[in-house]
Chains A and B, each alone.
Chain A
C-alpha cells in the first residue's frame, strides 16, 4: 500500500521554465491538496480539490495551476518558474471533510529554481 506518491523527488529548473508535479493516492480518498514548505513558514496551502471535478485556491495560489485528473491523481503545474518558487512541495489526501478525515502526506518534491 503506497499511500501518496509524488514524482519527481528532486527537480532543478531555470527561471521561466515550466513543469508539472505529479501526485497519486491509492487510498480511495476524495480530497487532495498541494502544500509548499519553506524554512520557518510551516506548510502553506497552494490549492486543494475537495472532490473529483472541483479545485479551489488556498493561501498562496499565484504562479500555480492544478488539475484533478481523476479521483486518484492531482497535479500541480508551474507555467513560468521563478526563484521564489524554490521550495519543497507536498501532496496530501484525505477521506474528505468532517470527522475522522486527517491529511496523509507524500514524501515531497524538492524544487530549485535558478
Chain B
C-alpha cells in the first residue's frame, strides 16, 4: 500500500540541539498531520496543516506544509529529554477520509 517516505529513520542528538525531519509523497495532499508517540501509548497530535505553504508552531515545534503539497517538515528547537519518542507524519488526499502514515522518525536525546 501507499506509504510516505519519512526521514531520517532515527537520530541521536544532544540536549539543546535543534532537530529537523521531513516527509515526502508521490501524491498531492490537502492535509498534513504530525504526531508523537511515547512507548506503550497511542500517537498524540502535535500539529495539523491544511494549506500549501502554511507554517504553524506549537511551542518549540514548527511544521510546514510544502509548496508542492507533496512534502512537509517538522522542526524541534532546543531539544529536551522529554522529546524522546517516535514522530509520525500523516497525509490525506482531497475527497477521502483515509490518512496515510510515514514509517516514523525515532528521536533519542542525550542529556
Contacts and interface: CB of A to CB of B under 8 A. Distances in A.
> Looking at chain A, what size class is its interface with the partner chain?
20 to 34
B104 A42 contact: yes
B101 A104 contact: no
Given A42-B104, A107-B42, A48 B98 contact: yes
Given A42-B88, A42-B104, A102-B45, A97 B97 contact: yes
A85 to B, nearest CB: 17
21 contacts: A31-B97, A41-B103, A42-B6, A42-B88, A42-B102, A44-B101, A45-B98, A48-B97, A56-B97, A60-B1, A90-B43, A94-B97, A97-B97, A99-B50, A100-B48, A102-B31, A103-B33, A103-B45, A104-B45, A107-B40, A107-B42
Interface of B: 1-4, 6, 31, 33, 35, 40-45, 48, 50, 88, 90, 96-104
